[in-house]
Structure 1
């Protein structure tokens, strides 16, 4: 009697050969595809960098090509580059990279390597450009000289875009510093809703409204619409950080709040609560008009300021083509401590700056022939509302559970929550809404996180960008400069055309 078990085993072994080959071949080709993707990304960035150069010197162009390609190509575990060829003319840059992957399984059929080729073509264009830099000026930017490193990178971006012209005809740039508010400039007082009675200020150091505004109610805080006849989409309320009251208790008067800058005529037996410096209704007349108020600890020099304009950053620099003016505005930026981070307010004001509608009307708007519009948003921190001092909310008034922001105090529920973690979630959603609106308006969005390790914020900024590759995580100052250079190269009237 003949056994069939040996015959069946041989048959299974023979049948398994093509299956094993198919699986192994898929692994080899998968590594080849990964190599092709990495080559394409590195070649795109190298081509844009070459296109941004103003020189025609072949040696310099090839050096730029090799530097950017090598800095962005990661060959770990995928293969190697065999050759990079270039064809550079005044109007077109064509680059071709060839690489190979050593096979692991296909060697069985005498295929020892897989060769892949990637081609990138960049066309130099003469279109116009309108760009807004939305830059975090919060107090944390003082750490590790972040603000100084940001200034260096931002100035270089201006130089890349302006090239060898001080007033290029087709390029205009604007600057929007943000904290939890944005400064639209005192010259735009006509767009402010004056409170009745008017707010009191603290002369001589902080004598008047500086230019910052509160946010509109949702969804108008993410919109570019301006309607002079609307209560929610028309004039803005002025940003005003009231003088938070002193604590009358425990045998004396104590400063336990974040921004106490006005002292009434203190004497025991005053009615409670002691008034704040909010407006003429309870400020100049308290305790009586014959006793003038005394200003305490007023300071307008950043980073730590006190007074009605506390944590109000420098004003917006509207779209212009003046290199000197832009560099001066960048140099002037300082970190402003207090109250938190709200990147969406900077982003929405960038949209308003690009718009041809009021209050800023320098932008040519969507559909303007030959005009490319872009916004670059940078932050070093999580979107948040800073907490108030615990003794202030506990012993003075629960209203002061947070610091004052462009949405007032968190206790006022203007964000739809009184929770600090809830506020961060809402602020992230608002930024996502603004980014969606920008992209719908045909505005290219670039985003940068600087020395920021928070995964949630990184993901919000990645999704905010027009494409994932337009998000630039920058863990240190050198990477930040490279990020701005890469953005400058892609904006410098270039487009990738495969």
Structure 2
């Protein structure tokens, strides 16, 4: 009887042992399923990251302008890489392709591999992922655009002609689509901005009344006369800080002899009119670099001329193109004046009222507010803090107007206004760097070395201003 009990116990141990073996074996496929599920979950999460990153990259590539497929690949690829790094992507390898599609679209495709854990035990080393995005360009959003254009003396001749052509082409491109909802302002600037005689009595202007001065005639006696020989020679002169070859003269061998008898000269009574022609200076710092104070006032000056009157935001493109055609070149450079009025024409409601309020979404997407700043050189004037004039020579010391330009750029972008900057044949490295930093991104800055590059820059800007939406 005892031996039978022992055999039963041994048999029971054998059964338990086999059960443990079978249980252990059954855990292996369960573990594979669990680990495989983790792999698929990681792949699904990674696909979502890739899709979001690709959406952003294609939008950035599409907004960069009229690019070839290779150029799209460079812009989109860099943006994709940055997005994936920021998102914590786990893709071990990936390839991307960006291309121009039909109907003015841009397409991006990403193929990636995600390393496995559980599936690796079954010789599946990675899972493949593919995502794609198509961005369609259109013009169905509202755009408020301020063209802040340098019309200083250095822009005379071929430069101004090229600017007029480039700016007119931009207007034509933006308004070619019947669905376009675009307002454009033109802000010519040099040493001053001309806000117009009609605005002299606005509450934000300080302009003295025109007046007439009666000048009494007088007589004087000339008792001697001086005669000289003159020699002429090649020399370098400056127009708005830009050197050019010219001819200079110098007197020599001058001889003064008495007049016998002396000659008496007399002037008649006359009147001198002191008149306002629209030239506007700057309020005191920091009101000259901001749009936050609705009570700020701008000084206006008598007996001063300063180029074409600004054209506030309008949907009348005939008016806009006429304003561009009427541009003329004269005066020195004070970029803060032009940039401040570019800021003013698309901010609401003071001093001008044509602009819509800033977007409630915090990004100014409706309307999309944009400034295009074009200049051909450095600041050559700085502000006279006694009267707000821009008449202090700054050729050798442009630090203050440069700093005002930087602050304006910072304050404008803080309002979520897009800024495009165009350096036209600019040789000064300091102002070129300021313009580059002022732009909303690297693709918003253009270094135009000649007229052809200027035309291309404005074409790229008009191309970039068309609204984008993800079609799929």
Given the two structures, how large is their TM-score scaled by the length of structure 2?
A: 0.58
Structure 2 segments unaligned to the other structure (5+ residues): 1-55, 77-94, 112-129, 216-269
How far has the Cα of 1:159 moved from its partner? 1.0
How many aligned residue pairs are there?
318
Partner of 2:380: 384
Deviations 1:251-290 (A, max 9, x none): xxxxxxxxxxxxxxxxxxxxxxxxxxxxxxxxxxxxxxxx
How far has the Cα of 1:212 moved from its partner? 1.4
The aligned runs of 1:33-48 (5 Å cut-off) are none
1:182 corresponds to which of 193, 207, 222: 193
Closer, same or farther in 2 for the Cα pair 1:332/1:432, shift >3 Å? same
Structure 1 segments unaligned to the other structure (5+ residues): 1-39, 51-63, 74-80, 99-116, 241-307, 387-401, 411-417
Closer, same or farther in 2 for the Cα pair 1:196/1:362, shift >3 Å? closer
Whether contact under 8 Å (1:47, 1:120) holds in the other structure is no
Whether contact under 8 Å (2:99, 2:106) holds in the other structure is no
Closer, same or farther in 2 for the Cα pair 1:325/1:196, shift >3 Å? closer
| Whole-angstrom distance in 2 between the partners of 1:495 and 1:475 | 33
Task: Extract structure 1 runs of 4+ deviating beyond 4 A.
Answer: 40-50, 64-73, 81-87, 95-98, 117-121, 196-207, 495-498
Closer, same or farther in 2 for the Cα pair 1:435/1:85, shift >3 Å? closer
Q: Which has the larger radius of gyration?
A: 2
What SS does the corresponding residue of 1:239 show, helix, strand or coil? strand
What SS does the corresponding residue of 1:376 show, helix, strand or coil? strand
Decide which moves more: 365-374 or 153-162.
365-374
Deviations 1:100-130 (A, max 9, x none): xxxxxxxxxxxxxxxxx99875343522100
Partner of 2:152: 138
How far has the Cα of 1:169 moved from its partner? 6.0
The aligned runs of 1:56-135 (5 Å cut-off) are 65=68, 85-88=99-102, 93-95=106-108, 121-124=134-137, 126-135=140-149
| Whole-angstrom distance in 2 between the partners of 1:239 and 1:431 | 23
How far has the Cα of 1:407 moved from its partner? 2.4
1:219 counterpart = 2:286: yes
| Whole-angstrom distance in 1 between the partners of 2:142 and 2:287 | 30
What SS does the corresponding residue of 1:174 show, helix, strand or coil? strand
Whether contact under 8 Å (1:86, 1:95) holds in the other structure is no
How far has the Cα of 1:496 moved from its partner? 8.8
The structure with the greater share of residues assigned to strand is: 2
Whether contact under 8 Å (1:124, 1:494) holds in the other structure is yes
Decide which moves more: 208-217 or 64-73.
64-73
Partner of 1:407: 389
Decide which moves more: 353-362 or 193-202.
193-202
The aligned runs of 1:324-343 (5 Å cut-off) are 324-336=318-330, 338=331, 340-343=332-335
Partner of 1:208: 275
1:154 counterpart = 2:167: yes
1:421 counterpart = 2:403: no
Closer, same or farther in 2 for the Cα pair 1:146/1:199, shift >3 Å? farther
How far has the Cα of 1:172 moved from its partner? 0.5
Whether contact under 8 Å (1:49, 1:68) holds in the other structure is no
What SS does the corresponding residue of 2:277 show, helix, strand or coil? coil
Closer, same or farther in 2 for the Cα pair 1:385/1:469, shift >3 Å? same
2:339 corresponds to which of 344, 347, 350: 347
The aligned runs of 1:439-450 (5 Å cut-off) are 439-450=413-424
Whether contact under 8 Å (1:46, 1:65) holds in the other structure is no
1:470 corresponds to which of 444, 447, 456: 444
